[in-house]
């Protein structure tokens, strides 16, 4: 496991520049993080604007990564931004996450979530997962060695399609609260606080925020003593969900 740097020299990768990634990027910049990588292959759509807060009407149709990077640079806070205008895929995931000290994953599909989880475990990089749908959201911190990891919560890819935020909807403020919780976990890790295994959940209807501890799965395929995942096989990440 690598030693984590201070905030000013920290390198943070955002996988997904959407309803979670946009507010997370702004929060990380204001917290003094020195370098942020943005990974997304999507373009801005009008339906994104209520929750993807670095985009405006004039940005519709433009690449998310380019628009978000320009917005961050305009803040003039000394942040270095790297643009990865691509999808996280089995062929590039290990190399990409290995360039960073911590990864914040905010995609809206299980294929990318499992891929990011597996790549970070294999590369020895901590990751904070986040998701938001309708009124509910979660943020989950995973250490470089897992135990627990994302597969301790969700053992494997679902066998049937699950609704994503475009299909089921998501309340914009819920995405903002969850992104704040995700960044809070990431900054704690960068500051040397061992938050691996912390799961934060938010219920927007009741305005209730809770923190739980996740226990490792004894037979986890990724992070247990009987692990079976030692590489990134593209066939393991086949999903009918849409991309981030």
Structural domain range at position 119 = 7-235
Does the residue 244 lie in any domain? no
pLDDT digits (tens, 9 = 90+) for 144-170: 999 999 999 999 988 666 555 556 678
CATH number at residue 70: 3.40.50.720
Does the residue 186 lie in any domain? yes
Does the residue 148 lie in any domain? yes
The SS3 assignment for 209 reads strand
The SS3 assignment for 117 reads helix
CB atoms within 10 A of CB 153: 17
Does the residue 17 lie in any domain? yes
Does the residue 84 lie in any domain? yes
Q: How far is CA 94 from the centre of its chain?
A: 15
Does the residue 145 lie in any domain? yes
Please give the model's pTM, rounded to 2 decimal places: 0.92
Does the residue 113 lie in any domain? yes
Does the residue 100 lie in any domain? yes
Q: Compute the average pLDDT of residues 52-78.
A: 96
pLDDT digits (tens, 9 = 90+) for 116-141: 999 999 999 999 999 999 999 999 99
Dist. CA 179–CA 3, nearest whole Å: 24
Dist. CA 210–CA 84, nearest whole Å: 33
The answer on pLDDT for 4 being more than 60 is no
């Amino acid at each position: 496991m690598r030693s984590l740097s201070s905030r000013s020299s920290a390198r943070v990768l955002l996988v997904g520049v959407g309803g979670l990634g946009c507010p997370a990027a702004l929060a990380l910049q204001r917290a003094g993080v020195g370098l942020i990588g943005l990974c997304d292959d999507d373009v801005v759509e009008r339906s994104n604007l209520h929750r993807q807060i670095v985009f405006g009407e004039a940005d519709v149709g433009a690449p998310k990564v380019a628009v978000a990077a320009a917005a961050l640079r305009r803040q003039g806070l000394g942040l270095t931004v790297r643009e990865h205008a691509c999808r996280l895929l089995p062929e590039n995931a290990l190399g990409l996450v290995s360039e960073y000290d911590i990864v914040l994953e905010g995609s809206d599909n299980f294929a990318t979530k499992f891929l990011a989880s597996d790549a970070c475990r294999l590369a020895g990089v901590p990751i904070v997962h986040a998701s938001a749908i309708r009124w509910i959201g979660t943020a989950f911190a995973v250490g470089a060695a897992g135990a627990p990891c994302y597969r301790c919560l969700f053992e494997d890819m679902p066998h049937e399609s699950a609704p994503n935020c475009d299909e089921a909807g998501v309340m914009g403020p819920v995405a903002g609260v969850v992104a704040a919780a995700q960044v809070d976990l990431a900054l704690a890790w960068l500051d040397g606080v061992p938050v691996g295994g912390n799961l934060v959940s938010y219920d927007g209807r009741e305005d209730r925020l809770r923190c739980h501890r996740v226990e490792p799965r004894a037979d986890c395929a990724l992070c247990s003593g009987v692990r079976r995942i030692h590489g990134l096989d593209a066939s393991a990440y086949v999903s009918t969900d849409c991309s981030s």
